[in-house]
Structure formats: structure tokens, C-alpha cells
Chains A and B, each alone.
Chain A
């Protein structure tokens, strides 16, 4: 348990880490089930449930019809009386179809029943922009989910988090949305060999630094780390990188503490800037530590456009590590 520090580690790919968490939680509790499109016989589009259909059977590793609102609602209903469903929505773009059940039921049922009923479901979904998938398969929807009270939102940036967040989410009594990234399933990383439950709140300092804080989450943590290396090497700027793996609730004290150390902040998000993670983190900085700032916070975001098919247009629409470097250079005037 805990942070897994000092534990024996295994190197796993991201999808293997997610698969292992599924396997262990299915094995731990007979009321855990997995449901979604192609999660059974096929083993999941990104192999997150590979082999589990054979191991646990079709009643617990359930291939659903392509009915996102229906099967999400079914999972939520099952969770009312003791089932612990892990619902995979094949692509986060399809989660729009399930918003009614996620927002109107899962997020609100505890409150509107006066605490009598809870919906301990996990909804996990690959999102983000991959390569040339076009406008309707490139949504970055974390900002939509994190705006709804009653729902937890987490987004792993590495296999260790992917494994530990899923395991905690299954056992937590709140509905948890896990935002994964289509480009990260083959990423390798160290995962504790023993059971490891990652906290569903907080943030992690992945690179300490004194001059500026780069806030990232999910894939943008990696852009921040690349940018931090470039800034250190070429400009002598030491950036602290904070991984906001929990988007709701956001780690207000973690954000405040880092900005209090560095006095500067850049928020890096893969999504459009409007009503996003960057805007929210900036608001928290304003509320928590405005007078610690030596410069106005900056966000690095996608352009406010639907994602184009053309490769050059797509690349232009999205931020990358160079954009982060440029934002920091501009902030320091170097």
C-alpha cells in the first residue's frame, strides 16, 4: 500500500499496468465486473482486459452493445446494490453519449438521496489526440468531467499511476472517471510488484526546481519534463514539474506550495483553453497565492479549433514541449 516506495518494482507497459489492476480487482472481489465495447472476447481495444474474459467469464467481463448511455447507466444501477463495475468507454469522444447517466445519476445520486445511495463506479476511457483521427476521435474531455460536483476525476501520466489509480478507484465509494491517453498505452514504467493503491487526491512533484513551476497532467507531464530539460540545458532555468494526476478535486495546497517556492507558473494542457485546467489552476493561484507571483501565470493550450485531419494542421493545433519552452522564455525575457 502507500506510495510503493522501497517496493520491488516491475517494468510494465501502461496497458499491462491497467490490465493487471483489472485482473487483481476482479480476483479480489466477486462483485467487481468490467463492461464495455470489445472488452471481452477481443480483450479491449488497448488490451486493458486481455485474457480476462477467459479467466472470469462473460458475466463479469462483459461485451456490451454499442449503447454508451445505456451500458453506463446499467453499470451505475448495478453499483447501487453492491456491484463494483469498471466501465470502459472505448474512446472518450463516445462519453458524450453517456453524459446523462454520468452527470445526472452517478454524480448526483448520493446528494439528492440525502446520502442513502451511492454509485461506486469506475469509468475509464482513452482520450486525447492521437495521430490524424479527425475531429470526432480527438476530444480532450477532462475539463468537462472536472466541472461536475460529485465526480472524481483522475488522469494517470505513467504505468504506476495507471495501475494504482484504477485499484483505488475500484474500492472508493465515489464515482471516479479515469482519463487515459491513446498515445500512452505502450509507454514503459516501473510499477510495484505488490498491491499498490495510488491516492485519488493530491499531486506529485516529478522534477524539483526553483525558478518556475510547470503544471501538467497525463501526456502534458511529459512535455513539461522535456521542456524542463531544455530550459535547464540552454537557459539555466530550473523548472519544477508538478503532475496534477487528480483533476477533481484539484490539489489546492500542492499548487500553492509550488508557486510559493518558484513564484512563477505555466500550466500545460492538451485541450482547448476555454474553461479548462489552465483556467482553473490560474484561478486557484489567484485565490491561494497571488502575492507570491513574480510574473503573470501563463497557459499553454491547444488552439480553440476542432482537431483537423491534416497532419500539419493537427500539429499546429496542439501544444508541445517547444511551446512550453517558448512560454517560459517569454516569461523570463530570454
Chain B
């Protein structure tokens, strides 16, 4: 990876971290409602994988922990925050909320709230790509706990049966809501589970963005070459609870301290400093700049944007003026 790209990734990951931390504050301030699932600790997963993808053509789909993936895939952070603030200017016009970030013009195909729901949707997007004989692929990010849903097995089977161009990325943060993986899952190594469907797979350190990028590059080349699906398991950790309503009492503090020493942003920062490509001052300046941008652009935009008109509550239920509802053009 080029030095300039590493520096850019450091900035993007730090931006993602500060964005999510600001969401936490906004939730406490009651500017964000509903459920809020935050990403700090896992930034290298989304950034490493998507750095290796084709930004102009590939499709991305994920679960409800979706803000960072959307921003990395081109969504305007101001519009993502406006969505969390339930504003008409939000990416999903304030109808979706935190769990339903959509930015279809950038091929970010959504955040979905049912654990395991996107597995078949991703396979379907890949099926349509295959019908169009496209070179693009679909990348589906889900957590480890999603692999205990029936849709995991049903989708892996069909993805391999029809050799669909889909990359499944398992962000293994070791907990399904509040239950540790070895207490819910017979086979703890998730990458092994797809061998039952003859899908090639790899397990990688999800805290090291360069390693993630390398593993993803190999996986994406496989999928794009027409050889069918691939599965990557990234070992990672979320610093906060499952959602804001999670007191996070089920984890040992020692475990949390251990993972905080493997922070993906600090690891990349220190490597760049050690190699003489970055100074501590460069980093703190970057951080200050990001915090200013979030406060003065992102939050201001979200705060000042209008809410949806209540008279529009029945829009978007069905297609508007679809001629086939009347049996076509008479």
C-alpha cells in the first residue's frame, strides 16, 4: 500500500471514530433517537476491505452497524448524521434512522436490522450482476452472530451452487449482543464454517488495516475473476456495548484493556510515526481538524436541517403513479 493511501486511511479511520463518538454524545443529548449501534474498535474492517474494492462499481450491503461503511462507500457524512437526526436531508430522508442508512446512487444498498437478513440479499444482487454479465461484485458485511441464522447456510449454499460474485465479510467481534461467541456457537472459528459449502475462506487480524487490505485484495480478485463467493473472517472488537441500551456489563475489563492495546487507529498511527512518515503533532493537528469538521459542518448541517413534513408520512409506501397498477397505458 502506498504511503499516501496509508495516511488517507488513517485520517478516514480517525474520522469514523470521531463521527461515532459524536453520535454517542448526540444520543445522550437526545438528538438521536431509537437504537444506535456504534463501530469504534472495528474501523480497520470496513476500511481495509473497501479500500481493496472498486469504489466506482461494486455494491456494499450490511447490517444495522452501518454508518462507517456508508461513509467509506461515498455517503456524505453530513447526510448520514442528518439521517440520525431524523431530518428530511438525511440519506434515507429521515425514514430509516441509524439502522437503515441507504445511499443507492453510490451502491450502498443499505443497513438492515434483522440479523442475517442481508446474506440472501447480497447473493441476489450478485445474481443480478451475473445476469448482466457485469464485472462488479457485491460485498456483504455482517457480524459473527449472524452466522447462526438459517439465512447464512441457505445463502452460502446458493452462492456457491451458482458461483455468484459475492464477498462475505464476517466482522467477528466475539459477542452476539451480550453473549460471548463460545457460549452461542459450536464452531468458534467462523471461516471454517463455509468449508461445508466449498467456499474458500480466510481468517485475518481485523485490527490491522494493512493486513485486512491484503486479505481483501486476494478475496476480491478471486470473486471478480468469476470463481464464485469468498468468505473472510476478521477478528475484531467493539469498544462499546451492542447498542446504546447495552450496559456492557458482560465483558471483563481485562479483556477490554487487552483489545484497546490493539486499537486499529493507534496501531497504524504508531507505525507511521516509527517509520518517520508522521509526527505526533501531525496526528493531533489532524484530529483537531476532524473534530472541527464534525462539529462545524456535520453537526451544524444535521441540526439546522428541516424535519420531514408530516403530510408526507404516506409517501414511499408504494410506487407513485405506476401505470401497471391500472393495467398499463389504456
A contact residues vs B (CB 8 Å cutoff): 1-3, 30-31, 33, 59-60, 64-65, 67, 69-83, 100-101, 104-105, 109-118, 149-150, 152, 164, 168-169, 171-174, 197-201
- Give Cα A72 to B318, complex, Å: 20
Residue from the list B94, B112, B114 in contact with A114, Cβ < 8 A = B94
CB distance from B106 to the nearest CB of A (A): 10
- Are A117 and B124 in contact, with the CB atoms below 8 A? no
What A residues does B126 contact at CB under 8 A? 77
* Residue ID in chain B nearest A248 by CB atoms: B318
Interface contact B327-A1, CB-CB below 8 Å: yes
27 contacts between A and B (CB under 8 A): A30-B131, A31-B131, A59-B130, A65-B157, A67-B154, A67-B157, A69-B154, A74-B158, A76-B124, A77-B122, A81-B128, A83-B127, A101-B120, A101-B121, A104-B113, A111-B316, A112-B100, A115-B93, A116-B103, A168-B325, A171-B328, A172-B325, A173-B324, A174-B318, A174-B322, A197-B328, A198-B327
What 3 pairs between A and B have smallest CB-CB spacing? A77-B124, A70-B154, A73-B120
Q: Which residues of A contact B273 (CB under 8 A)?
A: none
Q: Tell which of B94, B131, B161 has the most Cβ of chain A within 10 Å.
A: B131
Q: Is B30 an interface residue (CB 8 A)?
A: no
A197 contacts across to B, CB distance below 8 A = 324, 327-328
Q: Which of A70, A105, A115 has the most CB of B within 10 A?
A: A70
Q: Which residues of B contact A104 (CB under 8 A)?
A: 112-114, 117
Residues in chain B near residue A77, CB distance under 8 A:
61, 120-128
Digit string of B89-125 for contact with A (CB within 8 Å is 1, else 0)? 0111111100010111100011011100101111111
- A168-B324 contact in complex given A64-B158, A112-B100, C-beta closer than 8 Å: yes
A69–B327 touching, CB < 8 Å: no
Residues of B within 8 A of A149 (CB): 317
**In the complex, which residues of chain B have a beta carbon less than 8 angstroms from the beta carbon of A65?**
154, 157-158, 161
* In contact, A116 and B92 (Cβ under 8 angstroms): yes
Q: Which residues of A contact B91 (CB under 8 A)?
A: 114
A116 to B103, CA, bound (A): 8
Given contacts A2-B327, A199-B326, 11 further A-B contacts (CB under 8 A): A1-B330, A2-B328, A33-B131, A71-B158, A77-B124, A77-B128, A105-B121, A110-B318, A114-B96, A116-B105, A117-B110
B104 → chain A closest CB, angstroms: 4
* CA–CA, A112 and B99, complex, Å: 10
What's the Cα separation between A112 and B98 when bound, in Å?
11
In the assembled complex, the Cα of A168 lies from the Cα of B110 at a distance in Å of: 28
Q: Contact between A150 and B317 (Cβ–Cβ < 8 Å)?
A: yes
Q: Which residues of A contact B123 (CB under 8 A)?
A: 70, 73-74, 77
B contact residues vs A (CB 8 Å cutoff): 59, 61, 90-96, 100, 102-105, 109-110, 112-114, 117, 119-132, 150-151, 154-155, 157-158, 161, 315-319, 322, 324-330
Which residue of B114, B127, B158 is within 8 Å of A67 (Cβ)?
B158
Whole-angstrom distance between the alpha carbons of A73 and B102 in the complex? Answer: 18
- Give the complex CA separation of A242 and B187 in angstroms: 57
By a CB distance below 8 angstroms, the chain A residues around B317 are 110-111, 149-150
Q: With A65-B157, A197-B328 known to touch, is A80 a contact of B109 (CB < 8 Å)?
A: yes
Please name the residue on chain A nearest to B90 by beta carbon.
A114
Q: How far is the CA of A113 from the CA of B61 in the complex (A)?
A: 13
List of B residues within 8 angstroms of A73 by Cβ: 117, 119-121, 123-124, 151, 155
In angstroms, Cα B102 to Cα A70, docked, is: 22
Structural contact, A81 and B324, CB atoms closer than 8 A: no
**Looking across the interface, which residue of chain A has its beta carbon closest to that of B121?**
A77
User: In the complex, what residues of B have CB within 8 A of residue A111's CB?
Assistant: 95, 316-317
Residues of B within 8 A of A78 (CB): 124-125, 127-128, 131
Query: Does A117 lie within 8 Å of B102, measured CB to CB?
Result: yes
Known A110-B319, A112-B95, A197-B324: A70·B150 in contact at CB below 8 Å: yes
Docked complex Cα distance between A150 and B319 (Å)? 9
* A70 pairs with B316, CB closer than 8 A: no
On chain A, the residues within 8 Å of B158 by CB distance are 64-65, 67, 70-71, 74
Are A113's CB and B95's CB within 8 A? yes
Which residues of A lie under 8 Å from residue B124 when comparing CB positions? 73-80, 83
C-alpha spacing A79/B319, complex, angstroms: 14
Beyond A168-B324, A171-B324, A172-B324, whether A80 also contacts B125 by CB under 8 A is yes
- B110, B127, B151, B329: which contacts A109 (Cβ < 8 A)? B110
Q: Would you give the shortest CB distance from A208 to chain B, in whole angstroms?
A: 22
Which residue of B121, B125, B158 has the most chain A CB atoms within 10 A of its CB atom?
B121
- Minimum C-beta distance from B89 to chain A (A): 10
- B325 & A199 in contact (Cβ 8 Å cutoff): yes
Q: Which residues of A contact B325 (CB under 8 A)?
A: 152, 168, 172, 174, 199-201
List B contacts of A71 (CB < 8 A).
120, 154, 158
